[in-house]
Amino acid sequence: METKQAIEDRHSVRVFTNKDVEVNKLKGLVKLAQKAPSWVDSQPWKIYLVRGKSLAKLKELHLKK
């Protein structure tokens, strides 16, 4: 995909389902994200994959804000 096309085709999704995402797919996305450039190659990211009861608690806390 050309850069111009990627920029023009970009969109945001704000409606989600309750369908679980396979762990392998999530791990694959994390691997791709690790390839993103960072300032002076500092790679400051912290990524947490949350599922099950922990995810429900996180959603609850987020809605209280």
3-state secondary structure the chain: CCHHHHHHHCCCCCCCCCCCCCHHHHHHHHHHHCCCCCHHHCCCCCCCCCCHHHHHHHHHHHHHC
Other Cβ atoms closer than 10 A to 28: 11
Q: What is the pLDDT at residue 44?
A: 80
Q: What is the pLDDT at residue 46?
A: 85
pLDDT in tens, 21-65: 899 999 999 999 888 888 888 878 888 888 889 999 999 998 987
The pTM of the whole model exceeds 0.75: no
